[in-house]
Structure 1
Amino acid sequence: MTAMDAAARAAFDDDAASLASLFEGHAARHPDRIAVVSGDSRLTYGELNQAANRIAHLLLARLGSGETTVALLFQPGTAIVAAILGVLKAGKIYVALDPSYPQPRTVYMLEDCQAPLLLTDTRHVALAHQVAQAGPEVVNCDEISPSTAVANPDSAVGGKTPAFLLYTSGSTGHPKGVLHNHRNVLVEVRNYTSDAGIGPEDRLAVWHSFSFANSIRNLYGALMNGAAVFPYDLPGQGLMPLGAWVRGNEISMIHTLATTFRAFVDTLPGDATFPSLRVLRLGGEAINSNDVQKFKRHFPPPCVLMHVMGPTETFSIRRHFIGHEWHGGDGKIPVGYPVADKEVLLFDENGRPVGPDETGEIVVRSKYLAVGYWRQPQLTEAAFLPDPDGGEARLYFTGDLGVMRPDGCLIHLGRKDFQVKIRGHRIETGEIEAALSKLAPVKAALVHAQPDGHGEQRLVAYVVTAPGKIATIDELRRALARTLPEFMMPSSFVFLEDFPLLPNGKVNRRALPVPSVDRPVLPVPYAAPRDHTESTLTAIWMEVLQLGRIGINDRFLDLGGDSLRATQILGRTMRSFGLELSIGDLIQTETIAQMAELITTRTAPGSGDPS
């Protein structure tokens, strides 16, 4: 890896610098260098700068100066990158909305962020009008006049200017917005650049939603270093084509979640490798020795694995480098050692520091924490405390438990509360419980995470039905899908007459039953497999979904399926039958019987598919 030179570090450390000013510097020096590539669409730094400037001038003309929020509704691609930079150049605060989220959730976020404008493109303009309702004005960026000024706008954007809102799950039943400024992101990118030696020749992949903190590192890691960013629409295109996409685009740096990494590797042939990749960065979740072995198998030297920890409120606070020479044990993989300007402390329940090898809550002391929670001053004051030693630094209590080794290496032990991490998303189970409790058949609901047979965390909903009411899993899933994104959908539902209680009257969560591996109660009767193809598929589905019995007419989603499990099923199915399938095939064939019929058709003589 190439060390960061003094000039680059000085640019990142300038308190007056902004994301806009550093990008403009690269655009001025290297206008013909490729900045962003998405499918057949690509923009140089000069072209991206002009596209962003058109949007910035439009925003300044409509909104004037001031720190106003602007909402964005785009698929991953060149258009959203230009829109993000345009908002930043105008000194506004962008709020990226995910088109795949349920509309009620998007409507709430729009109302909460109070954005007067919603920027979108022709592809999403109809959806934008639906979610905007009587709120923000919808602006189709595809219709911005080519005569709009393309010079850099003269706006006072500095390090402390707010940059964006990232919405995370909230305990009140609604998501909450985390506000960051330009300076925080520049410090994050500086540390990332220093660790990974990011340079202009790098190609950084972004395949997580731009509304998610995991997109921040590689988006700005590329654009603040004159490198190229490659957005990939993971929800739309799926994991199956991802290996060919990474190789074809010669991606050199990936930042993703451990769960996504496992699902991605599960789609690969055993001998697949990625010689262009030099940094694989896994964050958001714990990793294990099996993950390290998969890294070694598919990502040859000089590729390095970086295991990082960084809540949305703080960005990266620890990192651990793992090379091919690493031979750790089977225990927890540490999250590692300090990053600059992010001090980690461990406190006991009484707020006192703990010593080496003792468990305590992970507390971050830094000048570069989130500004706070959007329009929630009391929550901000409770979560971000002044440094008792004085100065600009503040303390953020993460709610995570950890142990510090004597050499300063941090081991993350998990949460101390009912907040959980599912596929890298931090989830307040209270938000899911609130959504369940609003449903007519539900008297009370509890949700918590349990590891499945593969070691992945899954959400389990415990439901007590109202007197005289009957609830079905199918009914609850369909109702929740109208308000919650896929990653917040419980994998299992357990119906109880009442919750077990402790002597003090509180729910005894330890006494809640483990979800059964039996086939859930479904609206269709059980039907056994009728031939070899259906039997093979049934075995695959049972293994992936961790169920002891599945009927050939049972719907995938009713069995607790999601996009990652769909990818696992497809990978195993393709290896078993020697043919190509897509996520679309599983969506269209949502039962074993339908998938077996598709396989029979594809493998029939004269079909053109391998048999």
Structure 2
Amino acid sequence: LTLDIFGALLNGAALYPLEIKGEGLSALADWLARNEITIYRSFPTTFRQFTDTLAGDEAFPHVRVVHLGGETVTRRDVERCRKHFSPHCILVNHLGSNEAGGMATYYIDHDTEIEEPTVPVGYPVPDNQVLLLDQHDSAGGPGDAGEIAVRSRYLALGYWGRPDLTRERFLEDPTGGDQRTFLTGDLGRRLPGGCLLHLGRKDFQVKVRGYRVELAEIEAALQAIDGINEAAVVAREEGEAGVRLVAYVAPAKPPGLTATTLRGALAATLPDHMIPSAFVFLGALPLTPNGKVDRRGLPAPERFRPSLDVPFAVARTRVEERLARIWAEVLDLEQVGVHDPFLELGDDSLLATSVISRVLTAFQVELPLRTLFESTTVVDMALAIAQELATDSTPATQKHPPADWKRFPDEEAAARE
């Protein structure tokens, strides 16, 4: 904010702030043209929502710089800039903080090739040394991810009234020099050419099923999928189920994405433990007053069955009905279709184990766990149980009467839909 204000005023330019919450984004295009704005600055999320309001025939001949920062910039953001702004407009990705000012900058023109889904934040600005430190505050090796730290003599003095936090985040020069080191709390990785890649906040790093997961990496993979305008991923604590990853996506119009298609696209680039358990579709991500994603404002996933490529199908027998009820209770959903793949409903090894345990108890069968793990739908699981009971020495009618396996009459099945 300091750079935004004084960077304009001290260079003889006029400063035009726009209060997004009050004025909205629909009139921003006319506002930019009418005031002949030359440098546009915002968070990437605000930029995405702004470009979503554009029809494609707008012109911004005076805008020569689109300056983004504060959040991860993606390759799709570069495409948006090139689509809506003139070929002479430069996109600037900037990494900075109130404590250290500007730390790194990356300039992108219409010929710059972006190979990674996430746009680099560039190279250190003059008089700053950017380091990547491990958990012991030691510099990592080439290609290693680490916490971004800035060594400079031009840092803030500290935090007012918080000497403890000042000591934690500002490290004195061990040699007694005047250069201190500020720990930003951001994670990064250096590319082979020395360019810095921002990987998100350190506090957005979570553990899922024993694996360390970078939420920003999942968000970048989501935003690289055609048809998605915005994406955010949060980790939610679900009691005994542990930590679940929930993805919030704002699809482009017209809608057509499903949880099935998103899982499939993510599976091509991410390991299983990084694929979210639930997907929530929103018209737009909520924003804070300054234009960042309001993660606290993201709603909890509803208990409704997610949108899948498979149409909903009701149980045809009482066994299927009982199995569907077990699945729904474990997955915390209101209902489950008999052809719904377990993977698409929020696959998790702990949840799968819970389902199998309850099924074995409810149906009093001794099935190999692998058989049930391979039963990806209620119908498959019902068939596996039926085959086991057919070979069991105990008559099936003693465990489950014939009525349990008989199909519901057509009128009763219709009433269940």
TM-score range relative to shorter protein: 0.5 to 0.7
> Residue 130 of structure 2 is aligned with which of 344, 353, 375?
344
- TM-score, reference length from structure 2: 0.53
> Residue 409 of structure 1 is aligned with which of 195, 204, 215?
195
Aligned match of 2:162: 376
Aligned match of 1:367: 153
Letter in 2 for 1:308: H
Q: For the structure 1 residues 289 and 460, does the alpha-carbon distance in structure 2 shift closer, same or farther, using more than 3 Å as the test?
A: closer
Aligned match of 1:499: 240
Report Cα offsets for 1:22-43 as digits up to 9, x if no partner: xxxxxxxxxxxxxxxxxxxxxx
Aligned partners of 1:563, 1:308: CA distance in 2, in Å? 22
User: Are residues 1:267 and 2:53 paired?
Assistant: yes
Aligned partners of 1:515, 1:269: CA distance in 2, in Å? 28
Shift of 1:403: 1.9
SS of aligned partner of 1:251:
coil
Aligned match of 2:12: 226
Letter in 2 for 1:499: E
Q: Say if 1:273 and 1:297, in contact at 8 Å, map to a contact too.
A: no
Q: Say if 1:217 and 1:255, in contact at 8 Å, map to a contact too.
A: no
Aligned match of 1:458: 232
Aligned partners of 1:564, 1:230: CA distance in 2, in Å? 24
Aligned partners of 2:178, 2:26: CA distance in 1, in Å? 47
Shift of 1:313: 2.4
Structure with bigger gyration radius: 2
Aligned partners of 2:126, 2:247: CA distance in 1, in Å? 44
> Residue 93 of structure 2 is aligned with which of 283, 294, 307?
307
Q: Say if 1:260 and 1:564, in contact at 8 Å, map to a contact too.
A: no
Give identity over the alignment, percent: 42
Shift of 1:291: 1.2
> Residue 358 of structure 1 is aligned with which of 140, 144, 153?
144
Q: For the structure 1 residues 546 and 369, does the alpha-carbon distance in structure 2 shift closer, same or farther, using more than 3 Å as the test?
A: farther
**Counterparts in 2 of 1:114-263, with a 5 A limit?**
215-263=1-49
Aligned partners of 2:176, 2:168: CA distance in 1, in Å? 18
SS of aligned partner of 1:398:
strand
User: Are residues 1:277 and 2:51 paired?
Assistant: no
Shift of 1:217: 2.2
SS of aligned partner of 1:280:
strand
Q: For the structure 1 residues 341 and 377, does the alpha-carbon distance in structure 2 shift closer, same or farther, using more than 3 Å as the test?
A: same
Q: For the structure 1 residues 337 and 248, does the alpha-carbon distance in structure 2 shift closer, same or farther, using more than 3 Å as the test?
A: same
**Counterparts in 2 of 1:433-582, with a 5 A limit?**
451=219, 454=228, 456-458=230-232, 460=234, 462=236, 496=238, 498-500=239-241, 508-509=242-243, 512=244, 514=246
Q: For the structure 1 residues 250 and 545, does the alpha-carbon distance in structure 2 shift closer, same or farther, using more than 3 Å as the test?
A: farther
Aligned partners of 2:285, 2:188: CA distance in 1, in Å? 31
SS of aligned partner of 1:351:
coil
Q: For the structure 1 residues 541 and 235, does the alpha-carbon distance in structure 2 shift closer, same or farther, using more than 3 Å as the test?
A: farther
Q: For the structure 1 residues 462 and 345, does the alpha-carbon distance in structure 2 shift closer, same or farther, using more than 3 Å as the test?
A: closer
SS of aligned partner of 1:229:
coil
Shift of 1:216: 2.6
Shift of 1:462: 3.9
Q: Say if 2:132 and 2:140, in contact at 8 Å, map to a contact too.
A: yes
Unaligned runs of 5+ in 2: 207-214, 262-279, 288-417
Aligned partners of 2:248, 2:68: CA distance in 1, in Å? 32
CA RMSD of aligned residues (A): 3.5
Q: For the structure 1 residues 460 and 499, does the alpha-carbon distance in structure 2 shift closer, same or farther, using more than 3 Å as the test?
A: farther
Q: For the structure 1 residues 347 and 325, does the alpha-carbon distance in structure 2 shift closer, same or farther, using more than 3 Å as the test?
A: same
Report Cα offsets for 1:8-67 as digits up to 9, x if no partner: xxxxxxxxxxxxxxxxxxxxxxxxxxxxxxxxxxxxxxxxxxxxxxxxxxxxxxxxxxxx
Aligned partners of 1:313, 1:457: CA distance in 2, in Å? 28
Aligned partners of 2:24, 2:259: CA distance in 1, in Å? 22
User: Are residues 1:386 and 2:160 paired?
Assistant: no
Q: For the structure 1 residues 344 and 248, does the alpha-carbon distance in structure 2 shift closer, same or farther, using more than 3 Å as the test?
A: same
Q: For the structure 1 residues 269 and 358, does the alpha-carbon distance in structure 2 shift closer, same or farther, using more than 3 Å as the test?
A: same
Aligned partners of 2:118, 2:281: CA distance in 1, in Å? 31
SS of aligned partner of 2:105:
strand
**Counterparts in 2 of 1:23-42, with a 5 A limit?**
none
Aligned partners of 2:229, 2:60: CA distance in 1, in Å? 26
Report Cα offsets for 1:243-277 as digits up to 9, x if no partner: 00000000001111111111111111113231101
Shift of 1:238: 0.3
Unaligned runs of 5+ in 1: 1-214, 421-447, 464-495, 501-507, 518-538, 549-557, 566-611
Aligned partners of 2:178, 2:248: CA distance in 1, in Å? 52
Q: For the structure 1 residues 417 and 462, does the alpha-carbon distance in structure 2 shift closer, same or farther, using more than 3 Å as the test?
A: closer
Q: Say if 1:337 and 1:410, in contact at 8 Å, map to a contact too.
A: yes
SS of aligned partner of 2:15:
strand
Shift of 1:282: 0.8
Shift of 1:317: 0.5
Report Cα offsets for 1:496-555 as digits up to 9, x if no partner: 5x233xxxxxxx53xx264799xxxxxxxxxxxxxxxxxxxxx9696699899xxxxxxx
Aligned partners of 2:233, 2:178: CA distance in 1, in Å? 39
Report Cα offsets for 1:187-226 as digits up to 9, x if no partner: xxxxxxxxxxxxxxxxxxxxxxxxxxxx332211111111
Shift of 1:402: 1.7
SS of aligned partner of 2:41:
strand
> Residue 321 of structure 1 is aligned with which of 85, 107, 118?
107
- TM-score, reference length from structure 1: 0.37
Aligned match of 1:397: 183
Shift of 1:302: 2.2
Aligned match of 1:467: none
SS of aligned partner of 1:499:
helix
Aligned partners of 1:347, 1:298: CA distance in 2, in Å? 39
Q: Say if 2:142 and 2:190, in contact at 8 Å, map to a contact too.
A: yes
Shift of 1:335: 0.7
Aligned partners of 1:547, 1:231: CA distance in 2, in Å? 42
Q: Say if 1:319 and 1:337, in contact at 8 Å, map to a contact too.
A: yes
